[in-house]
Structure 1
Amino acid sequence: MSATGSTDVVAAVPARDLARLTLLGALVGLPAGLVAFAFVGAVHLLQELLWTDLPEALGADEPPWYLLLGLPVVGALLVAAARRLPGDGGHSPVDGLSMEPLPPVAAGSVALAALASLGFGVVLGPEAPLMALGSIVGVWVTRWTGVTGRARGLLGVSGASGAMSTLFGGPLVAGIMLLEAGAGALTAVTLLPPLAAAAVAYVLVTGFGDWTGLPMAGLAVPDLPEYDRVRPGSLVLALVVGVAAALLVTGVRRLARAVQATEPRVGRVPLLLVSGLGVGVLALAAEALGADPRDVLFSGQSSVPALVSESSVGVVLVLVVAKALAYGITMGGGFRGGPIFPAIFLGVGLASVAVAALDVSPTLAVAVGTAAGMAATSRLLLSAVMFSALLVGRAGLDTAPAAVIAAAAALLTVRLLDRPRPA
């Protein structure tokens, strides 16, 4: 998480205030969880409406070509409208996740831009808008508590943590991401309010998800086979995937910046429209080459199971290339959303080449690819390894050493690639 801004939110919190702030953090978790539930549910329902119900109403079993081309373009128009509102639709995903707080007046712009991006098929995840909305909720709630100064900033971070926990399998990954990124100069002790918010939000959202039937898990890969022992070849694969994921994600980010740099010349709205059309064209091209176009669209969260079970190396490579190009175009074109989950898809896709070609365990591929992709885009090591472990669960306990190597290789490679060249 290339955490930008807000690094001085909390320099120190007096011990006598920590208990009160922890209780307030738990309080913030309630509305943050409700906002997360409403947002994720709205994205899910919008995607079902546009990409399942609408094709069925048109008499098609799959989205026809004109929807693959047209829906991202319609989304681009809505994003352009949202970015005219206060807040510019939230932070740009080109430079990674940002912890810089937004004012409450930006909430409408953030929500509309994210729904228009995620619901209409462009390649971004829900984590950035959820963090922004959670932070806004935290700041708004604290206005009623009399908390001021840096403590208010801490509760704003708590709102972001609460929202993040709904995507990353509970409070632990969210807390480690905040600590590892240095958000608000957090220490282990001052993590208590964000962790309390994350725990409350996660329990609340999980309960609502079970009650309504809406899928609330950030990423779920069911029925993974047990990976029962560490093999030397697994560590070699992890190293290769980590380096490859870093190279690919770095290339995607450079493509995004190159696309973004054209905005002053072509204008925001034309760039959004062309970028949306480009995503649709890539989905159609992938379909012509034998892949499912819907695996090219969206963040990739729901496509990972199909990706690791794909038996054709060619189809896996088509999906990785098309997804990477669509990801870069989406980020640079001015859409709004998070950069982590598409990078995880790319990491798992690279590992899935070995599944299809060498009969490598899909459990290992998910663990290694998740750790490599998340580390490459977030620049965080521990968070990537922990999320990878949560994702594969008990079936993949022995994948931990390989996941560590994949994440470390990705992080080191990205940092080497980011080093400025000597003049």
Structure 2
Amino acid sequence: MSATGSTDVAAVPTRDLARLTLLGALVGLPAGVVAFAFVGAVHVLQDLLWTELPEALGTDEPPWYLVLGLPVVAAVLVAAARRLPGDGGHDPVEGLSMTPLPPVAAGGVALAALAGLGFGVVLGPEAPLMTLGGIVGVWMTSWTGVTGRARGLLGVSGASGAISTLFGGPLVAGVMLLEAGAGALAAAALLPPLAAAAVAYVLVTGFGDWAGVPVTGLAVPDLPEYDRVRPGSLLLALVVGVVAAVVIAGVKRLARALRATGPRVGRLPLLLASGAAVGALALLAGALGADPRDVLFSGQASIPALVAEESVGVVLVLVVAKGLAYGISMGGGFRGGPIFPAIFLGVGLASVAVAALDVSPTLAVAVGAAAGMAATSRLLLSAVMFAALLVGRAGLDTAPAAVVAAAAALLTVRLLDPPPRPA
């Protein structure tokens, strides 16, 4: 996760922190509205293209030509979006970025993300949500008189507010900012981003008798209770963490190798070929017994079905096809977030043990989510906290295994793909 676009705490006077915190809370409201509108638009587009359109064509499932063709259409739209200011958003191969984009980039970011996520490209919503939230923060503060690095802090607050709606509230968002080293944010300087995240999340969850606005995040319902830590669980966590890191490091290498061909073959041909390859992988997985739609998209909605799958073969087909489609989507020039597909891969690897060894699905979700998120984001505490929120009360005792999985994934991925040394 990139720490670029960071904010120097020393540049924010203590006397101004209360004002910045209030402004951060105000930024959280429009950031939450943007998050709701964006996620809602993705949901509507996916339903229109992948449910209503097949029904209009007289089929219950998307026919092969839609599975193959819609990602290709996405390629054309993303190519157009990347010609707009902002290049359609940040490159997902490099992870999440805190670098703020100007408000003029909002249209290109939204178009690239909606085209990819709605048409089946294997990337997540978190990166465009962060970017759009950051743009909201920059725009909101343009007329407040706040300048310099303090203005950048409020831009980060917009990003924090937007992603809190996906990651279960302000705590994960705040820990992600702190752990990523976003400008060496100290605890006090986290107040504006946390205030923004809290306001945005309340907009989603509601308060009093108001139920909030519906935003679909990552949720795994009806998990059985995992009641005690077992030695075998820690061993499983270690294995899943190492294997998840190896897989995700391989995916990143595939993405970088594919991206390197861009100057030679051209942006549009690379996007078109990548979109066709993603659709072809989904069709191939369908021929091998998996649901093609579980290969497409970010993987958020498919995790309950993944941990419930009883066939080891089908789980492995999904992991291989998803991993290849994920790497192709990143390297092919699409725009979106890298975290949720990696979480799907981690849970998929842990689900092999569910199908083969009757391991608790609650343990698999916690261990897989922690391993996948740590391997792609290189953040330890954020991954463990998100895994804990994901399994909820049913999985309180999975925390030690989630820590082992995240630590093993982080150490392994750093060995396989060391971070660049500072100049």
Alignment check: 8 A CA contact 1:239 1:405 kept:
yes
**1:335 is aligned to 2:334:** yes
Structure 1 position 308, deviation (Å): 0.1
Question: Structure 1: which amino acid aligns with 2:125?
Answer: P
Which residue pairs with 2:239 in the alignment? 240
**1:83 is aligned to 2:82:** yes
Structure 1 position 124, deviation (Å): 0.2
Structure 1 position 9, deviation (Å): 4.8
Structure 1 position 185, deviation (Å): 2.2
Structure 1 position 392, deviation (Å): 0.2
Structure 1 position 11, deviation (Å): 3.8
In structure 2, C-alpha distance between the alignment counterparts of 1:252 and 1:181, rounded to whole Å: 22
Structure 1 position 117, deviation (Å): 0.4
Question: Structure 2: which amino acid aligns with 1:36?
Answer: A
In structure 2, C-alpha distance between the alignment counterparts of 1:37 and 1:225, rounded to whole Å: 30
In structure 2, C-alpha distance between the alignment counterparts of 1:400 and 1:420, rounded to whole Å: 27
Give the TM-score taking structure 1 as reference length.
Answer: 0.97
Where does 1:331-370 land on structure 2 (aligned, <5 Å)?
Answer: 331-370=330-369
In structure 1, C-alpha distance between the alignment counterparts of 2:236 and 2:97, rounded to whole Å: 31
Alignment check: 8 A CA contact 1:9 1:153 kept:
no
Alignment check: 8 A CA contact 2:3 2:180 kept:
no
| Equivalent position SS for 2:301 | helix
Alignment check: 8 A CA contact 1:23 1:196 kept:
yes
Structure 1 position 214, deviation (Å): 7.2
Structure 1 position 377, deviation (Å): 0.2
Where does 1:128-277 land on structure 2 (aligned, <5 Å)?
Answer: 128-207=127-206, 215-277=214-276
Q: Root-mean-square deviation (CA), in Å?
A: 1.6
In structure 1, C-alpha distance between the alignment counterparts of 2:197 and 2:211, rounded to whole Å: 21
In structure 2, C-alpha distance between the alignment counterparts of 1:328 and 1:212, rounded to whole Å: 38
| Equivalent position SS for 1:84 | coil
| Equivalent position SS for 2:183 | helix
The count of corresponding residues between Structure 1 and Structure 2 is 419
Question: Can you list the C-alpha shifts for 1:155-184, whole angstroms capped at 9, x where unaligned?
Answer: 000000000100000000000000000113
Question: Can you list the C-alpha shifts for 1:98-122, whole angstroms capped at 9, x where unaligned?
Answer: 1111011100000000000000000
**1:43 is aligned to 2:51:** no
Question: Can you list the C-alpha shifts for 1:177-203, whole angstroms capped at 9, x where unaligned?
Answer: 000001132111110000000000011
In structure 1, C-alpha distance between the alignment counterparts of 2:223 and 2:142, rounded to whole Å: 46
Question: Can you list the C-alpha shifts for 1:244-263, whole angstroms capped at 9, x where unaligned?
Answer: 00000000000000110110
Question: Structure 1: which amino acid aligns with 2:253?
Answer: R
| Equivalent position SS for 1:318 | helix
Which residue pairs with 1:387 in the alignment? 386
Alignment check: 8 A CA contact 2:39 2:216 kept:
no
| Equivalent position SS for 1:99 | coil
Structure 1 position 85, deviation (Å): 0.5
| Equivalent position SS for 1:224 | coil
In structure 2, C-alpha distance between the alignment counterparts of 1:170 and 1:311, rounded to whole Å: 32
Alignment check: 8 A CA contact 1:154 1:184 kept:
no
Which residue pairs with 2:372 in the alignment? 373
Structure 1 position 205, deviation (Å): 2.5
Alignment check: 8 A CA contact 2:303 2:347 kept:
yes
Which residue pairs with 2:414 in the alignment? 415
Alignment check: 8 A CA contact 2:220 2:303 kept:
yes
Question: Structure 1: which amino acid aligns with 2:382?
Answer: S
| Equivalent position SS for 1:302 | coil
| Equivalent position SS for 1:328 | helix
Question: Can you list the C-alpha shifts for 1:252-292, whole angstroms capped at 9, x where unaligned?
Answer: 00000011011011100000000000000000000000000
In structure 1, C-alpha distance between the alignment counterparts of 2:112 and 2:163, rounded to whole Å: 18
| Equivalent position SS for 2:177 | helix
Where does 1:20-39 land on structure 2 (aligned, <5 Å)?
Answer: 20-39=19-38
| Equivalent position SS for 2:406 | helix
Alignment check: 8 A CA contact 2:36 2:214 kept:
no
Question: Structure 2: which amino acid aligns with 1:154?
Answer: L
| Equivalent position SS for 2:270 | helix
Q: Cα 1:280–1:188, aligned 2, differ >3 Å: closer, same or farther?
A: same
Alignment check: 8 A CA contact 2:206 2:213 kept:
no
Question: Can you list the C-alpha shifts for 1:19-77, whole angstroms capped at 9, x where unaligned?
Answer: 11100000000110111110000000000000000000000000000000000000110
Alignment check: 8 A CA contact 1:153 1:184 kept:
no
Where does 1:111-126 land on structure 2 (aligned, <5 Å)?
Answer: 111-126=110-125
Alignment check: 8 A CA contact 2:6 2:152 kept:
no
% same residue: 85
Alignment check: 8 A CA contact 2:129 2:159 kept:
yes
Question: Structure 1: which amino acid aligns with 2:254?
Answer: L
**1:289 is aligned to 2:288:** yes
What are structure 1's unaligned runs of at least 5 residues? none
In structure 2, C-alpha distance between the alignment counterparts of 1:340 and 1:196, rounded to whole Å: 24
In structure 2, C-alpha distance between the alignment counterparts of 1:26 and 1:94, rounded to whole Å: 31
In structure 1, C-alpha distance between the alignment counterparts of 2:97 and 2:418, rounded to whole Å: 21
Give the TM-score taking structure 2 as reference length.
Answer: 0.97
In structure 2, C-alpha distance between the alignment counterparts of 1:420 and 1:322, rounded to whole Å: 27
Structure 1 position 8, deviation (Å): 4.2
In structure 2, C-alpha distance between the alignment counterparts of 1:321 and 1:153, rounded to whole Å: 40
